[in-house]
Amino acid sequence: MASIVKRKNKYSVVYSYTDENGNKRQKWESFNTAAEAKKRKIAVEYEQETGTFVVAEARTVSELLEEYMSIYGVNTWALSTYEARRSIISNYINPIIGDMELSDVNTRAIDKYYQGLLKVKSVSTQNRKPNNEYCSVHVVREVHKLLRSAFNQAVKWEMIPKNPCINATLPKEDHTPRQIWDADTLFKAIELCEDDLLKLALNLAFACSLRMGEMLALTWDCIDIREESIKAGRAYLFVNKELQRVNRDALDKLNDKGVILKFPAVFARNTTLLVLKEPKTKTSVRKVFIPATVAEMLRERHRELEEYKELFGDEFIDYNLVFCNPNGRPMEGSVINRGLSKLIKGNDLPPVVFHSLRHSSITYKLKLNGGDMKSVQGDSGHAQVKMVADVYSHILDDDRRLNAQRFEEAFYKPQTKELEQQKPVDIPSASDSNLIAQLLANPQLCAMLKDALLKSET
């Protein structure tokens, strides 16, 4: 049997049920009106009598998101996406609207929630300080994407009649172009760099358009730097994995989905692990040809690692990684980032992040190949050419000046020459005894005189 309990302005249908473990539990379902509650009470009692009763799940936003993560997220998302979405839910959704009943969620409530989010303090994630004191517009838009997808599933699962996020009003986001180094600045930095491994990282990011995780996951079996390959211009590297630090709980929830190798934790109490995992998209798996100079740097790195192996002996853990610590263990991006930051500050270079070198790489490849986006997409591993065109192809000042020069040559100089050629010819004075002879000998002069006479008549 079920009963109706009124609490403030809500009507709750209360009933008992037995869970999958055989434990007896009580369930409360809240409704806005007494009529809705009575309708639900009759349905519960009928289903219990006929043996068709199923416990209603996800009455609140947090319950919906938990179910959404466990059903949709686990089967659809990669590890990095799963962790990012879970962080958004725990930091910016559940603490604010997690207890809200699904029946109370409408577009107006979502609009107010988004507006209020901009006044919420940013939360540190994975021991990284946030860039902004308060929740940024970008985070609000990420929250919206997540909620819109979750409520879409709720509609499909017939939990709610329509998605309240569809017509929600989002704050506008101003995209600040990422600062990049031009070639002169980059090679000045490389020349000043005294860390050979950082120097190799800078060259690989620029020459091969690599992401940090892809570069740190490079293994020697995916690189062809044989002498004959370099001479023939066929040296290459094959990108088929990336290095990432992930939460152990996320690994368990996703059953190690996409994980190629889990590195042993340094401390048993660590809640995170370093893993080699599949790239996030199929297009990220790619073959990238290497300039001969960079290939020689890789050969030198290989010789250096052989010396480390001999020096450390059995203490060297060989994972076949190009970027690793002297004992063979994987190297994290923080090591590269610290080295780059030190290089920039120590030499008063324009401040950029490591990923900016990927932007520089793609920009210069587009410049050198005359805008062949498909070939650049092959190197960068983007799923869509639009990303190459809109996000990564920075406009260089040199190119803009060259455009002005080309316009001058193509459009303005020919016009100037034409005007010079059309300068009026001096007409001889009437007193000149040879006037008629000159007119007959100069058709252009005749035409000009004829036009002048016609205009004077009109």
- Most confident region among 166-175, 209-218, 248-257, 391-400 by mean pLDDT: 209-218
Instruction: Output the pLDDT for position 428.
Output: 47
Residue 38 clears pLDDT 60, i.e. is over it: yes
290 burial type by CB count under 10 A (0-12 exposed, 13-18 middle, 19+ buried): buried
Alpha-carbon gap, residue 207 to 364, rounded angstroms: 10
Across 187-191, 284-288, 365-369, least confident range = 365-369
Please give the model's pTM, rounded to 2 decimal places: 0.69
Instruction: Output the pLDDT for position 415.
Output: 58
Judge contact between 445 and 426, C-beta under 8 A: no
The residue whose two tokens read 């932007």 is: 359
Q: What is the pLDDT of residues 161-179, one digit of tens each?
A: 899 999 999 998 877 777 8
Three-state SS across 241-269?
Answer: CEEEEEEHHHHHHCCCCCEEEECCCCCCC
**Which two tokens mark 49?**
């009598």
The residue whose two tokens read 């001969």 is: 292
Residue 438 clears pLDDT 80, i.e. is over it: no
Domain ranges of the chain: 2-50, 61-156, 183-241+279-392, 424-457
* Bridge partners of residue 224, in order along the sequence: 236
- The distance in angstroms from the start CA to the end CA of the chain is 106
What's the mean pLDDT in 337-361? Answer: 92
Q: What is the pLDDT of residues 56-112, one digit of tens each?
A: 567 799 989 988 998 888 888 888 889 999 999 999 999 999 999 888 899 999 999
Across 135-139, 337-341, 415-419, least confident range = 415-419
Query: Pairing state of beta strands 259-262 and 286-289?
Result: unpaired
Q: What is the pLDDT of residues 288-311, one digit of tens each?
A: 888 899 999 999 999 999 999 999
CATH code, 61-156: 1.10.150
In percent, the amount of the chain with pLDDT more than 70 equals 79
Q: Which fold has domain 183-241+279-392?
A: hpI Integrase; Chain A (1.10.443)
Q: Residue 260 is which amino acid?
A: I
In percent, the amount of the chain with pLDDT more than 90 equals 41
What letter does residue 126 receive in the DSSP assignment?
T
- Ramachandran area for residue 126 (φ above 0: left; ψ -120 to 50: alpha; else beta): left
Judge contact between 30 and 12, C-beta under 8 A: yes
Judge contact between 383 and 416, C-beta under 8 A: no
Residue 458 clears pLDDT 60, i.e. is over it: no
Alpha-carbon gap, residue 419 to 103, rounded angstroms: 76
Alpha-carbon gap, residue 162 to 374, rounded angstroms: 40
Among candidates 43, 10, 44, 42, which has minimal Cα distance to 27?
44
Judge contact between 204 and 244, C-beta under 8 A: no
Query: Computed over its alpha carbons, how large is the radius of gyration of the chain?
Result: 35
Q: What is the pLDDT of residues 144-153, one digit of tens each?
A: 999 999 999 9
Alpha helices for 51-160 (secondary structure H): 61-68, 74-76, 79-88, 94-97, 107-117, 137-156
